[in-house]
């Protein structure tokens, strides 16, 4: 019997002779049954060059029994027994999903809240191909700054740094990772064999996935991208369908994976003329996923602010790309989108932080200095939504992590601050404050964000006069803190409670957290 920790990933190998048949077209599935009756059924296997693999992750301690099924006799009827023991990795919490009590927030299957703080690195797979150990060092660097999710492509070919254009900024060849060393199909991007996957590509991606999973870092995996010169299989062919099923089969045992049909899927809408293809891909992904991972579609339509498309409605959460260049507007749009969808909301690409070293990377109308990007990020969180951060020199095919920007420390402070609040229970409601933005669990906890600094007033009429209130101010551009207990006047009524900015420079953007009954009371 194989001993496996809860939430760990294990592979079971199968061997058979298929003769002249395409082994990637051979289907094998498995069912795993827990001794107390829990079942993971119709778990698809995948061909791995010289064998088929069934990849399994036990979600419950105890004994699991597995059995394979296939029309090919050599793959049918294999049996396995797994003893699932306690998880010892404090960074791993199972399957990332929707909080069952608060459906517009994320949580892990073990109950731990997940405060999505994304870091876009579309060519991370290619960076790993070039130098895995360097890639791991920089993954650790990003994680140390508070980011807990990589938004990345499964594959992209050429990006802004490797295509001819009018940008005269320098390209440093040693930092250029497009086109990648390996293509995901056999034959190469120029002359692909879409009937067969490139096993070397996927084995390398496996190693990256195992590292990220072990570090507890979520992978928001964009399975396709249409504007990075990738030669994909023809739409709605057997090879096309097989690609989607293969990717899902290979990576669904990793509980840290979120499926995304594709980066900027508005390009699929433009290509196909409607949403039918995207909706069909969603059906394929869900049909092949035995674990029920979250599924979303990034940037479904060109003009999507305030709208809700059919792919949005059928997604587990909305993933947007909305550029508004103003903290209040980002906050308002996030609140509106969540009100319409009833699901979590993530804005991926809302601003592009200018890197400390200006290289030939993408620029847009929301390319801005680090302080603006940080202000917009806080505004999204103050709505109860989630952001994905974008840094010029690490998000596309030109990847240069050094010099490490000082701004990244502000995200470590941001995450630590928010995780000290009951974020999943709080709701964006700016009516509580005279000025600024507010996230509230009325009567228990409040987050007030003042993008322009200054003082404000807050409605605390839900709080009893005798109840102490802990306050913690933070200047978001410096990390400076000021903590204590709120002083109440003799005429305490709570409705117009002054929040007096304690900092010498009152004009700097800041946040203040309020804990009714004191920190740790909720």
How do residues 379-389 score in pLDDT, each as one tens digit?
999 999 999 99
Report how far residue 199's alpha carbon sits from residue 187's, in angstroms, rounded to the nearest whole number: 12
Q: Which residues of the chain have pLDDT under 50?
A: none
Q: Nearest 5°: CA angle at 287, between 285 and 291?
A: 85
- Tell whether 318 is covered by a domain: no
The helix or strand, by DSSP H or E, that contains position 511, with its residue range, turns out to be strand 510-516
Three-state SS for 140? helix
Q: What is the pLDDT of residue 148?
A: 99
Q: What is the pLDDT of residue 463?
A: 94
- Tell whether 379 is covered by a domain: yes
Report how far residue 269's alpha carbon sits from residue 44's, in angstroms, rounded to the nearest whole number: 29
Q: What percent of the chain is modeled with pLDDT above 90?
A: 90
Report how far residue 435's alpha carbon sits from residue 501's, in angstroms, rounded to the nearest whole number: 13
- Tell whether 319 is covered by a domain: no
- Tell whether 311 is covered by a domain: no
Do 76 and 62 have their domain in common?
Answer: yes
Do 451 and 510 have their domain in common?
Answer: yes
Three-state SS annotation for 366-401: CEECHHHHHHHHHHHHCCCCEEEECECCCCCCECCC
Do 288 and 396 have their domain in common?
Answer: yes
Beta-carbon contacts of residue 489 (< 8 Å; ≥ 6 apart): none
Using only the alpha carbons of the chain, give its radius of gyration.
24
- Tell whether 470 is covered by a domain: yes
Report how far residue 462's alpha carbon sits from residue 459's, in angstroms, rounded to the nearest whole number: 8
The last residue of one of the domains, among 370, 401, 419, is 419
In 3-state terms the chain splits into helix, strand, coil percentages (rounded to 5) of: 25, 25, 50
Q: What is the pLDDT of residue 163?
A: 61
Whether 95 and 291 have beta carbons less than 8 Å apart is answered as: yes
CATH of the domain at 452: 2.60.40
Q: What is the pLDDT of residue 164?
A: 67
Do 179 and 223 have their domain in common?
Answer: yes
Report how far residue 82's alpha carbon sits from residue 68's, in angstroms, rounded to the nearest whole number: 14
- Tell whether 342 is covered by a domain: no
Q: What is the pLDDT of residue 517?
A: 94
Do 67 and 157 have their domain in common?
Answer: no
How do residues 375-432 score in pLDDT, each as one tens digit?
999 999 999 999 999 999 999 999 999 999 999 999 999 999 999 999 999 999 999 9
Structure tokens at 170: 């320098």
How far apart, in Å, are the Cα atoms of 437 and each of 129, 432, 491? 43, 9, 26
Q: What is the pLDDT of residue 253?
A: 99
Report how far residue 340's alpha carbon sits from residue 429's, in angstroms, rounded to the nearest whole number: 15
Do 47 and 61 have their domain in common?
Answer: yes
Instruction: Domain count for the chain, please give it.
Output: 3
Q: What is the side-by-side order of every strand in the sheet holding 29-34?
A: 2-5, 79-85, 62-69, 29-34, 39-44
Q: What is the pLDDT of residue 522?
A: 64
Q: What is the pLDDT of residue 491?
A: 73
Whether 257 and 291 have beta carbons less than 8 Å apart is answered as: no
Q: What is the pLDDT of residue 161?
A: 64
Q: What is the pLDDT of residue 172?
A: 76
Q: What is the pLDDT of residue 239?
A: 99
The last residue of one of the domains, among 378, 395, 419, is 419
How far apart, in Å, are the Cα atoms of 172 and each of 121, 137, 387? 18, 21, 29
Whether 347 and 380 have beta carbons less than 8 Å apart is answered as: yes
Do 10 and 132 have their domain in common?
Answer: no
Q: What is the pLDDT of residue 245?
A: 99
Structure tokens at 211: 């590292």
Report how far residue 112's alpha carbon sits from residue 94's, in angstroms, rounded to the nearest whole number: 9
Structure tokens at 132: 């895995």
Instruction: List the one residue out of 116, 92, 390 whose CA is nearest residue 213.
Output: 92
Do 78 and 146 have their domain in common?
Answer: no
Query: Tokens 């059919």 correspond to what residue?
Result: 310
Report how far residue 136's alpha carbon sits from residue 131's, in angstroms, rounded to the nearest whole number: 9
Domain extent, residue 378, equals 96-296+348-419
- pTM comes to 0.97
Q: What is the pLDDT of residue 518?
A: 86
- Tell whether 461 is covered by a domain: yes
- Tell whether 315 is covered by a domain: no
Q: Are strands 386-389 and 367-368 parallel, antiparallel or unpaired?
A: unpaired
Torsion over CA: 300, 303, 306, 310 (sign): negative
How do residues 159-200 score in pLDDT, each as one tens digit?
866 666 677 777 778 899 999 999 999 999 999 999 999 999
């Amino acid at each position: 019997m194989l001993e496996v920790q809860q939430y760990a990933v294990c592979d079971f190998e199968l061997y058979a002779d298929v003769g002249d048949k395409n082994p990637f077209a051979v289907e094998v599935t498995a069912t795993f049954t827990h001794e107390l009756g829990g079942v993971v059924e119709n778990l698809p296997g995948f061909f791995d060059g010289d064998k088929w693999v069934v990849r399994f992750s036990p979600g419950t301690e105890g004994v699991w029994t597995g059995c394979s099924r296939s029309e090919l006799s050599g793959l049918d009827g294999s049996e396995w027994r797994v003893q699932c023991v306690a998880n010892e990795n404090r960074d791993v919490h199972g399957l990332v999903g929707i909080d069952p009590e608060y459906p517009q927030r994320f949580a892990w299957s073990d109950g731990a809240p997940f405060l999505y703080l994304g870091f876009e690195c579309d060519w991370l797979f290619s960076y790993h191909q070039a130098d895995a150990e360097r890639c791991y060092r920089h993954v650790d660097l990003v994680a140390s700054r508070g980011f807990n999710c990589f938004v990345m492509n499964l594959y992209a070919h050429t990006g802004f740094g490797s295509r001819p254009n009018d940008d005269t900024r320098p390209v440093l060849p040693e930092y250029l990772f497009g086109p990648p060393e390996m293509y995901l199909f056999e034959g190469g991007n120029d002359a692909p064999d879409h009937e067969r996957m490139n096993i070397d590509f996927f084995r390398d991606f496996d190693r990256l996935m195992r590292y990220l999973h072990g570090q507890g870092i979520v992978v928001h995996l964009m399975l396709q991208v249409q504007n990075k010169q990738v030669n994909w299989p023809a739409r709605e062919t057997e090879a096309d369908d097989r690609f989607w099923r293969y990717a899902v089969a290979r990576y669904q045992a990793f509980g840290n994976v979120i499926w995304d049909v594709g980066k900027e899927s508005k390009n699929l809408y433009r290509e196909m003329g409607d949403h039918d293809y995207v909706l069909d891909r969603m059906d394929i992904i869900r049909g092949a996923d035995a674990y029920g991972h979250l599924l979303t579609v990034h940037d479904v339509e060109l003009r999507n602010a305030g709208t809700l498309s059919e792919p949005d409605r059928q997604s587990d959460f909305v993933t947007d790309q909305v550029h508004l260049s103003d903290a209040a507007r980002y906050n308002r749009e996030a609140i509106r989108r969540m009100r319409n969808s009833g699901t979590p909301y993530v804005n991926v690409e809302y601003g592009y932080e200018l890197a400390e070293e200006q290289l030939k990377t993408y620029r847009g109308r929301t390319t801005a200095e680090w302080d603006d990007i940080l202000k917009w990020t806080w505004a999204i969180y103050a709505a109860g939504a989630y952001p994905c951060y974008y840094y010029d020199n690490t998000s596309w095919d030109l990847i240069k992590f050094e010099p490490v920007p000082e701004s990244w420390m502000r995200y470590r402070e941001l995450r630590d601050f928010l995780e000290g609040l009951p974020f999943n229970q709080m709701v964006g409601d700016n009516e509580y404050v005279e000025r600024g933005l507010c996230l509230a669990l009325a009567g228990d906890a409040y987050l007030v964000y003042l993008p322009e600094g200054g003082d404000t007033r807050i409605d605390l009429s839900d709080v009893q006069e005798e109840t102490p209130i802990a306050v913690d101010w933070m200047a978001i551009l410096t990390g400076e803190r000021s903590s204590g207990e709120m002083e109440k006047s003799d005429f305490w009524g709570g409705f117009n409670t002054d929040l007096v900015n304690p900092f010498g420079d009152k004009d700097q953007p800041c946040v203040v957290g309020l804990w009714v009954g004191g920190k740790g009371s909720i």
